[in-house]
Every structure is written in structure tokens, then in C-alpha cells.
Amino acid sequence: MTPTIDAHVRLDSHPTHPSAVTAVLTGSQAHVAHLGLEAADWTVVADNVLVLVRIDHEEPYWAQDAAKHLSAEGIAVEITPRLREAMDEEWTWANYPMSWCTRSEIRAVSNEAQKIHDDIRHGQLLIHAHAHAHDGHTTVAVGTYLSRGGTSVYLHGEDHLRQIADTFDSPAQALLAFEKVHGGDMLPGAAPLTETERAAAEARATFDLTPTTAEPSHPEPETVAAYLADAGDHDALLDAFLDTHGDWEKWRTWDDNTTIANHESLTLRALFDHEAQGRDTKWTLVAYETPVSERLWHATATAAAPAEIVLALLNSAASESAWGPAASITETTLTQATRPLADAGWQQTIEGRYIRWDAPGEEAAGIQFDAFAAGQRPGSALPTWTVWGGNAIHQPTWALELSTHSPAPLLQDIAFELAEGHGVRTVRPAPAEGQAPRTIQAGAAPALPEPLRSRRSR
């Protein structure tokens, strides 16, 4: 369609957020496009710059939808090759819990979750309290819409999986029902932002660039405790581990997303997900008594886990002392496994079925032992040990989880790394005095990194 409105919209990938999309508007009637994008929940970051950020990573799809509507109204739309590639890319969620859904049905589910997220963000849905479901992982919450006749809702899940599981006629009725089920773990207000929500909030912030006359900014590394360190390069860690352990062999899956490393005895296996990021599971270790028996124990580590702690897990698992199941967990076993933490001043607390050891200092990290999970079968998905860092244990920045019967030497090696190990964290210096950041203006075209393709199958 030939443009009939003096407005031009340039759509491009976001400079730093993997899937977000930016729109730069020009022309004497740019306000027409501006209003249309705002109505579609694009966020204004400057007079002529908007950004589309979603928690379901479907921005390219909805940006393409916006482009069709703008073009139909007679507005010229330019889509950069980088963004066009993202729009054309077919991908799916790994380990999606609703495996029976088609791709369009998955998109519909996540779009409803996006609406809930936006309603909370815009203050239209007030969250009264939150908790964790009995599985220990799923976030649940209760809240009330300030519109829609004041309907109260019970929310289940987070990010792209959050759903309205039940509705109530009043906040009092909703809170009573919520407290009846989750009274022991119930906390006031909304849950802390997830990593995805924090990243989305950062992407919606105004873009800042250092003036061209200023000296380039270089990250300054600092040495910190291992649990505070950056994740580092896990792919390089995998290669280094295999290079130094000749009794392990590896192969890649057909889709090239996963590396599987097997010990020559076929009783110890490591799975490495090349696509995992943030709180996704990057590493899975599984031990067996024989190549054809049921597993003795297993452990997982997220993609954001510091490489030093993951390396301690791998090296300990590869040593003979970590082969085989642990004896029954007793007070002596717990004391031996966590002795390095006690020696380093970590504080121990007991709360119901949980025993926790919290790191000293202001930055959050710890180990949690779940006495209930310790009594489950080795194949149970409920972790007996959770090693975590950043934010809070129910929503950590990174985590390791170990099943019941995990060998005590393995736990002690991890505890020692937590207590005594060090790593590197990158700190970006503040702008020098007199070098205030500036906002990107229309026509600016900073060099953009290649978009990440987390969870996407090529």
C-alpha cells in the first residue's frame, strides 16, 4: 500500500534485550503512528522512540502484527534485516509444561499471561499476597482488579505461564481461600520480580549512550566470593572439564542444542544445554549404580550459576569419592557436609522441615536442606539440597539442586567452594563527572549485537 500519512516507522531489534523491538518514528504526522503503538502497549522511551518488551519473548511476532496494522493505515514501515530474520524464525519453548498445545495455542496462553503482567505493572491488578505452591517452586498469588467490577483472582505461575486459576466475588473471600491453602508460606504483596521481569523493566528504560567525545567505558573486574561471581563461560568450562578428564566422552544431540558427556563406566552422565540462560537448567548430572539400573542421585545447575561452583560440582562428581549413594542423613552427616560453612561464619537457622545456612554479609546466598525431600526416592523431583545466590531462595539469581542420597563428599566440596572460593564479578564504572548520558534520537543507528536465540531451535 502506498503511504498516505507523512510518518515513517523504523522497526529494529533492541540494542541489549534479546527479543525486544524498538520503533523510531519520523515525519510530520509521526504522532499518528505513536498513538497506534502506544495503544498496542509499546512503551515510550523518548519523544520519537518506543519499545516493545514482553515476558513471553514474542516481540518479533507482535511487532510484525503492528507493522501490518500501520501499513494498512497508510504509514511507511521499515523492518531491518536483523528483525526480519527474528520474525521469520520458527522456535519453541524447551520443556514446555503444556506439551499438548500447538504453537499458536502456546502463544495464546502466553499472551493471556502477558495481559496479567501488564495489568499488574499498570496498577490495574492489585496483588494482596503471594506464596509458593506445595511443590516449592511455583509462585501463586491473590489479587483484585481495580476495574472489571472489582473481581478478585487467584494467580498460578509466573512469567509466560501465569494464569488465572480461580475468581472470587470479593478480596476478603479471595484472601480467606488463599490463606486456607497457603497460610504457612503466605507473604504480603507481590512476589519479587523474576529475572525475566527485571530484564523487561531494564529494556523499557530510556536508552543511554556515552557521548561520542567521551572515553569508552570498560568493565572493571573485582574479586568476590565465589557465590557472588559472574556466571562466566559455561561452554568453555565444559570443554576444559572434558579435556582434563580423558575417561569421559561426549556427543551432541541431533538438534545441536545439547551435549551429553558419559563416563566410560556408563554410570555417570552429564547433560549440558547450550541454549539455557539465566535460571534455566544448564547442567544435569545423573549417577547410576550400573549402566542399566535406576539412578542413585542427580543434581542440576542453572545457566547463571558461577563457573567456579559448577566446576566444584563437576570435579567432585568425577572423583571416586562421589560415586555411589550417601548413607542415611543424620545430624553427623549434616554437620560434616556443611562444616566449611560453619567455619566461615555462615548462619544456620531451622524453620519447620528446612535447615538453612545463610552467607554472611549483605548479599544473599545460602544452602537449604529439606528434611521432607530427604525421605523421598532418588528419582523424586523435589530437591533435598538447594544451593543458591542472589535475590531470595524462592526466586534466586542462580541455583544448584541436589536430590536425596547425593554423596556427602559432593556436598562438602560445594560447601567448601562457597565458603572459601573466589571468582570475578564485572562492575561498570559510573560516568565521569560532566559526562551525562544522552538519549538516542531519531536517525541514530548504533551498532547492535546479534540477537540471542535462547530456547530457540534453528
Distance CA 66, CA 77 (A): 10
pTM above 0.95, yes or no: no
Residue with cell 529439606: 370
Burial (Cβ within 10 Å: 0-12, 13-18, ≥19) of residue 414:
buried
List of residues 6+ apart from 200 with CB closer than 8 A: 17, 20, 53, 54, 55
Q: How does DSSP classify residue 94?
A: T
Distance CA 170, CA 142 (A): 11
C-alpha cell of residue 53: 518488551
CB 205 within 8 A of CB 437: no
Q: Tell me whether strands 49-52 and 76-79 are parallel, antiparallel or unpaired.
A: unpaired
Residue type, 90: E
Q: What is the pLDDT along the chain (458 residues), one digit of tens a residue?
A: 566 888 999 999 998 888 899 999 999 999 999 999 998 889 988 878 999 999 999 999 999 999 999 999 999 999 999 899 889 887 777 778 888 888 899 999 999 999 999 999 888 899 999 998 877 678 999 999 987 778 999 999 999 999 999 999 999 999 999 999 988 888 888 888 888 898 888 888 755 433 334 444 555 788 999 999 999 999 999 999 999 998 999 887 666 688 999 998 888 999 999 988 888 899 999 988 888 888 888 999 999 999 999 999 999 988 865 565 555 677 887 888 899 999 999 999 999 899 999 999 889 999 999 999 888 876 777 899 999 998 888 889 999 999 988 888 899 999 999 999 999 988 544 443 343 333 333 232 222 222 222 323 32
| Beta-sheet strands, E only, within 58-151 | 76-79, 125-132, 139-145
Nearest residue to 134 via CA among 381, 319, 339, 310: 381
The DSSP element (H or E) to which 347 belongs, if any, is: strand 347-351
Distance CA 29, CA 339 (A): 69
The CA-to-CA distance between both ends of the chain, in Å, stands at 32
Query: How far from chain centre, in Å, is Cα 213?
Result: 36
The CA distances from residue 380 to 28, 211, 371, 419, in Å, are 63, 55, 13, 28
Measured at the alpha carbon of residue 367, what is the angle toward residues 363 and 371, in degrees to the nearest 5? 145
Q: Say what the pLDDT of residue 98 is.
A: 87
Q: Say what the pLDDT of residue 293 is.
A: 82
List of residues 6+ apart from 171 with CB closer than 8 A: 128, 144, 150, 152
Distance CA 164, CA 185 (A): 20
- Sign of the Cα torsion 389, 392, 394, 396 reads negative
Q: Say what the pLDDT of residue 448 is.
A: 25
Q: Say what the pLDDT of residue 320 is.
A: 66
